[in-house]
């Protein structure tokens, strides 16, 4: 991580007051995406480059394509299918680490209450989206680049509940600090997700407890790690599968 380069990218992209007051429903590019695009390559001649067919790369720097995906990896599958045949691809996924939420009046743009989210993100949060691109994770041309990013999130107070918060829409996310990164170039790099003090054999529940992740949101982790050959099933304990590391 390069903090100086990150601050330069923020300074270039951030005009928060104008975005909030004049940009509701009109932004072509969200702030988080714009900042990270300039962080990875500030040269605008390398940005928004037509590659093949109808697909445009966020960045093409002559050696690799860099795609910044803020969520819903279903949307990136077409690009990956087209790009990975010929190009090295770096798929960047920013995950909220520490987050503050500010509510925005959808009619006036006036900023309301700001509060801190009780949830603190982790790299394990990426597995929900990685599950959507499972067939691509073994491709030697693909690098997954995870970032933990502190953020200010702005939400339109336009929901269906009495306080208009439930069912509301996210307006923008402003990155404030890079707090961690994990680069996954090959299946072996996914060993970083296996706690070093996890005793073998282990169940998915025991794995989740050691990783500090709720078991209910953990189901994709052992599935993907098994697909990648990082862990393997070695039996059962009651109704639960037993695993061990296979690398």
Q: Express the helix, strand and coil content of the chain in percent, nearest 5 each.
A: 35, 35, 35
Domains of the chain plus CATH, in order, are 3-185 (no CATH), 193-247 (1.10.10.10)
Give the span between the Cα atoms of 19 and 156, in whole angstroms: 13
Predicted local distance difference test score (pLDDT) of residue 111:
82
The pTM score is 0.89
Q: What mean pLDDT value characterizes the chain?
A: 88
Minimum mean pLDDT range among 3-17, 176-190, 207-221 = 3-17
Minimum mean pLDDT range among 11-15, 200-204, 209-213 = 11-15
Give the span between the Cα atoms of 12 and 197, in whole angstroms: 43
Helix (H) or strand (E) holding 94: strand 89-104
Mean pLDDT calculated for residue range 6-27: 62
- Asked if pLDDT for residue 242 goes beyond 80, the answer is yes
157-179 per-residue burial string, b: 16 or more CB within 10 A, e: under 16: bbeeeeebeeebeebbbbbbebb
Mean pLDDT calculated for residue range 213-217: 76
pLDDT band at residue 17, thresholds of 50, 70 and 90? very low
Give the span between the Cα atoms of 60 and 37, in whole angstroms: 11
Predicted local distance difference test score (pLDDT) of residue 25:
43
Residue located via tokens 């093949």: 52
Q: What digits encode the pLDDT tens for the residues 45-87?
A: 999 999 987 899 999 999 999 999 988 999 999 999 999 999 9
Mean pLDDT calculated for residue range 79-97: 96
Burial tier of 122 (Cβ tally within 10 Å: 0-12, 13-18, 19+): middle
Predicted local distance difference test score (pLDDT) of residue 29:
60
Rounded to the nearest 5°, which phi and psi values hold at 117? -70, 135
pLDDT band at residue 24, thresholds of 50, 70 and 90? very low
% the chain with pLDDT above 70 = 92
Cβ neighbours around 58 below 10 Å, total: 22
Give residue 229's region: left, alpha or beta (phi > 0; psi -120 to 50): left
Distances (CA, A) of 167 to 35, 159, 160, 193, 208: 27, 4, 6, 33, 30
Q: What digits encode the pLDDT tens for the residues 103-135?
A: 888 777 778 888 888 888 899 999 999 999 999
Predicted local distance difference test score (pLDDT) of residue 22:
46
Distances (CA, A) of 36 to 69, 187, 244: 10, 25, 37
Give the span between the Cα atoms of 74 and 54, in whole angstroms: 17
Residue located via tokens 């605008």: 44
Residues in the chain, total: 247
- Asked if pLDDT for residue 166 goes beyond 50, the answer is yes
Tokens of 191: 């060993």
């Amino acid at each position: 991580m390069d903090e100086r380069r990150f601050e330069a990218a923020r300074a270039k992209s951030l005009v928060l007051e104008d975005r909030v007051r004049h940009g509701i429903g009109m932004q072509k590019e969200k702030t988080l995406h714009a900042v990270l695009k300039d962080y990875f390559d500030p040269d605008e001649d390398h940005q928004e480059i037509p590659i093949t067919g109808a697909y445009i790369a966020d960045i093409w720097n002559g050696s690799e394509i860099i795609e910044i995906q803020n969520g819903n990896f279903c949307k990136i599958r077409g690009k990956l299918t087209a790009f990975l045949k010929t190009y090295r691809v770096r798929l960047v996924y920013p995950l909220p680490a520490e987050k503050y939420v500010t509510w925005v009046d959808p009619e006036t743009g006036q900023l309301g209450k700001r509060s801190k989210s009780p949830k603190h993100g982790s790299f394990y949060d990426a597995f929900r989206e990685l599950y959507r691109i499972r067939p691509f994770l073994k491709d030697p041309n693909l690098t997954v680049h995870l970032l933990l990013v502190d953020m200010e999130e702005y939400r339109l107070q336009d929901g269906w509940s009495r306080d208009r918060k439930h069912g509301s829409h996210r307006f923008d996310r402003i990155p404030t600090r890079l707090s961690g990164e994990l680069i996954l170039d090959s299946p072996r790099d996914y060993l970083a997700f296996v706690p070093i003090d996890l005793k073998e054999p282990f169940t998915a529940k025991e794995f989740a407890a050691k990783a500090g992740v709720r078991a209910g949101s953990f189901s994709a982790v052992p599935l993907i790690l098994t697909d990648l050959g990082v862990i393997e099933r070695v039996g059962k304990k009651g109704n639960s599968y037993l695993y061990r590391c296979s690398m």
